[in-house]
Amino acid sequence: MSDSIPDPQLFINRELSWLEFNQRVLDEAADPGVPLLERVKFLSIVATNLDEFFMIRVAGVKQQLAGDVVELTTDGRNPRAQLTAITERVHRLVMDQYSLYRDHVRPALELAGIQLGARESTPEIARRIEAYFRQDIYPVLTPLVIDPGHPFPHLKNKSINLGIVFESNREESGIGFAVVQVPQISARLVSSGVGNSGRSWLFLEDVIARNLSLLFPGRKIVSVAPFRVTRNWDLEIDEEEADDLLATIQQELRRRDRGNAVRLEVASDVDPRLLALLRHVLRLDEGDVYAVDGPLHLGDLMSVASGDDRPELHDEPFTPQVVPPFRDAEDPFALVSERDVMLHHPYESFESVMDFIARAADDPKVLAIKITLYRAGANSPLVRTLARAAENGKQVTALVELKARFDEEANIKWARALEESGVHVVYGVLGLKTHAKVCLIVRREVPGLRRYVHLSTGNYNPISARLYTDLSFFTARPEIGEDATALFNLLTGYCEPPSWKRLAVAPLNLRERVIELVAREAEHARQGRPARIVAKLNSLVDEKVITALYAASQAGVDVDLIIRGVCSLRPGLPGVSERIRVISIVDRFLEHARVFSMENGGEPEVYLSSADWMPRNFIRRVEVMFPIEDAKIRQWIRNDLLESQLLDNVKARDMASDGSYRKRSPKPGEAPNRTQSKFMERAKVRARASVWSVPPTPFRAMPNEEPTLPPMPEIPAPPRVPKHRKKPR
């Protein structure tokens, strides 16, 4: 293998691998062992995922084609071949999705007393629906006829519309066209108000279609079909030219709804003349059209799953547990000053993280709080806590990432609210997204200042913390505190990076550090010492890291990878990756933690990170990786977290070298091992315990310091990073 020109046959296409992940999600929707409304959720997630895929990834490929870009993917495809492969795979996926809905999920819902879509109705039901239409829907509709005086209207991204064909004496063809946009301010699923305790639903577009005669009086309607347009939704921002990043992003958010169309979803019985018109005005090819036999955008079925509380149709309820040692600690700072603490979300409650920061906001000994916010959520209590800390006179700095995709508007809102409350808000480094999850608290103690650091694999978002599996780490280790201080100084004001003591930081040295650790395992193997790599990630795409893993396998290193989503590495290739195994776990909670275990010749090391092994994380984002130095926590991660997941025989799937996956099941006589269920039970046991079994880890005291923030030491001639983004005016 050449380091400079990797063999394309050694890599799996990123986009196709991502689509295979969605196939695994769809397989969960097809699993009769999964409670019915949980199956509906998985079906909905696939639809939502495909929306984002088209808005960003497919839109990007189409932009490459429009710009005559000839850059090849890692598996050797040009943009045209890439788009062709994507189109073929998505069409198969959508066909499977709707077959599952039509032939299995919908009939199962009906057996459970949940009716979706139009049914033969009694005159009483028809009158009731018409009354609802006249009172609540008709006043907000705008029928748009298409003719020379009325050009084709702009169709909003992801909006559902009705395309109408009607007879017209004005046109040579004898037909005319009109469009009615289904209002997004109204719930799409409308209760028919008949029986089943409100579990009979109509789609709003069907309600409108039934009453089109009120919108087009005197017109003879030939056909009507719902359709939905997906547009390029990526932001294009020239940060070098933007004096005010917040204002620039706000402007781009208003513009992006007019992005080029990239997909058309339409009912399978659409009038061919209407379809031809839509393709023409949207400039879409035949492959961009997805004709479906069922309701458009099954993502809206999430409201059905969430709105029915019958326990037999859902997973067994689980409440994240507040566990020792935080539960029993009168002073969480005294606790963390003595030992490192690890929490496993969502099994162990994220409220412990929120409470730790809230204590800091009100503690008179706390001088400063610094935090990175990537996806804080729509109604974050953390933002209110930071505002209160500033009002209490603390120096509060929040690095708000305005370019967090699909969360731009929420983050702009929080940035303004924080600034108004006295928080010093910055927007990171020019040209980079700040994806690291770090909170630094500086507290005046005896004999001097002490730094408390929270590092995490997941966001400071209490909503996603109940849905994603992540690891939270609290420490007062001085060298990690010094690195965290240096990181915030780098992000808020300095242009020269320090020499990191414990952290590895992208885009400075994270990729190099990962490759160095992999190469070290290879050398251990060559010397006959214990060598093994276990890595748990969302995605593995980076060519250089994959090449290093191939080299490690060839040197004799056993490599076990737990990759939830995209994996461009091919395991099990003779002479290349025979010692590499890859599994994916898709279950109730979204696997999100990034964890790396290195055998290191018999002296194991464990690292956590905010970063996946992807070029964007290594090059275009600010990320951190940090070591777990507490022996007990390290042992739990290696033996209980990683090894347990590697042995999962209920929700794990083994990846083959061609990129396909095969679901595991218990062998004869083998007990089921569903790791997420085990972690839920572990959290309940811990919550019932009076103390935690991990003993304190001693720390050396920080030297005496004046009660001011320590300056970052001068570092001789390090490499430069992109200049800091100026604070908006």
Average pLDDT, the chain: 88
Q: Return d(Cα 188, Cα 51) in angstroms, integer.
A: 17
- Beta-strand pair 532-537/558-563: parallel
Question: Radius of gyration (Cα) for the chain, nearest Å?
Answer: 28
Which two tokens mark 103?
């032939």
Checking if the pLDDT of 15 tops 50, the result is yes
What pLDDT, on a 0 to 100 scale, did the predictor assign at position 407?
62
Task: Show which residues are catalytic.
Answer: 435
* CA 179-184-186 angle, 5° bins: 115
What pLDDT, on a 0 to 100 scale, did the predictor assign at position 190?
87
Which parts of 347-390 are beta strand (E)? 366-373
Closest CA to 499 of 485, 513, 486, 481: 486
- Report the interhelical angle of 14-30 vs 79-100 (nearest 10°): 0
Residue 3 burial by Cβ neighbours in a 10 Å radius (0-12, 13-18, 19+): exposed
What pLDDT, on a 0 to 100 scale, did the predictor assign at position 525?
98
- Beta-strand pair 652-655/433-434: unpaired
What pLDDT, on a 0 to 100 scale, did the predictor assign at position 628?
98
Task: Categorize the per-residue pLDDT at 643 as very low, low, confident or very high, splitting at 50, 70 and 90.
Answer: very high
Which amino acid, one-letter code, is at 458?
G
Percent of the chain with pLDDT over 70: 87
- Counting DSSP H helices and E strands in the chain, the numbers are 22, 27
Which residue's structure tokens are 């023409």?
A: 280
Which two tokens mark 594?
């990034």
Residues 6+ apart with CB under 8 A from 180: 141, 142, 143, 144, 161, 162, 164, 208, 212, 215
Beta bridge partners of 370: 397, 440
The model's pTM is 0.89
Mean pLDDT to the nearest integer, 427-451? 91
Which domains, ranges and CATH numbers included, belong to the chain? 1-117+298-314 (1.20.58.310), 119-233+262-294 (3.30.1840.10), 332-494 (3.30.870.10), 505-664 (3.30.870.10)
Q: What is the DSSP letter of 300?
A: G
Which residue's structure tokens are 């003595």?
A: 338
Percent of the chain with pLDDT over 90: 71
Which two tokens mark 175?
């037909």
How are strands ordered across the β-sheet holding 115-116? Answer: 115-116, 200-203, 189-191
Q: Return d(Cα 439, Cα 369) in angstroms, integer.
A: 7
Whether 670 and 701 have beta carbons less than 8 Å apart is answered as no
Which residue's structure tokens are 């997973």?
A: 315
Which amino acid, one-letter code, is at 533?
I
Which two tokens mark 573?
């290739």
Task: Categorize the per-residue pLDDT at 168 as very low, low, confident or very high, splitting at 50, 70 and 90.
Answer: confident
Of the two residues 577 and 186, the one the predictor is more confident about is 577
Task: Categorize the per-residue pLDDT at 315 as very low, low, confident or very high, splitting at 50, 70 and 90.
Answer: very high
Whether 377 and 464 have beta carbons less than 8 Å apart is answered as yes
* Four-point Cα dihedral 653, 106, 93, 303, nearest 10: -80
Mean pLDDT to the nearest integer, 621-633? 97
* CA 475-478-481 angle, 5° bins: 70
- Report the interhelical angle of 510-526 vs 543-555 (nearest 10°): 10
What pLDDT, on a 0 to 100 scale, did the predictor assign at position 416?
81
What long-range pairs does 176-180 form, CB within 8 A, spacing at least 24? 176/145, 176/146, 176/147, 177/145, 177/146, 177/274, 177/277, 178/143, 178/144, 178/145, 178/146, 178/216, 179/144, 179/146, 179/152, 179/153, 179/155, 180/141, 180/142, 180/143, 180/144, 180/208, 180/212, 180/215
Checking if the pLDDT of 33 tops 50, the result is yes
pLDDT digits (tens, 9 = 90+) for 61-83: 998 898 888 889 999 999 999 99
Q: Coil, helix or strand for 551?
A: helix
pLDDT digits (tens, 9 = 90+) for 90-130: 999 999 999 999 999 999 999 999 999 866 667 777 888 88
What pLDDT, on a 0 to 100 scale, did the predictor assign at position 672?
96
Task: Categorize the per-residue pLDDT at 728 as very low, low, confident or very high, splitting at 50, 70 and 90.
Answer: very low
Q: Coil, helix or strand for 274?
A: helix
Beta-carbon neighbour count of residue 476 at 10 Å?
25
Task: Categorize the per-residue pLDDT at 378 as very low, low, confident or very high, splitting at 50, 70 and 90.
Answer: low
Mean pLDDT to the nearest integer, 267-275? 96
pLDDT digits (tens, 9 = 90+) for 479-491: 999 999 999 999 9
> Phi and psi dihedrals of 711, rounded to 5?
-75, 155
Mean pLDDT to the nearest integer, 122-141? 87
DSSP H or E run through 200: strand 200-203
Residue burial 626-665, b: 16+ Cβ < 10 Å; e: rest: bbbbbebbbebbbeebbebbbebbbbbbebebebebebbe
Across 175-189, 283-297, 513-527, least confident range = 175-189
Which two tokens mark 530?
């214990």
What pLDDT, on a 0 to 100 scale, did the predictor assign at position 692?
44
Q: Residue 197: left (phi > 0), alpha (psi -120 to 50), or beta?
A: left
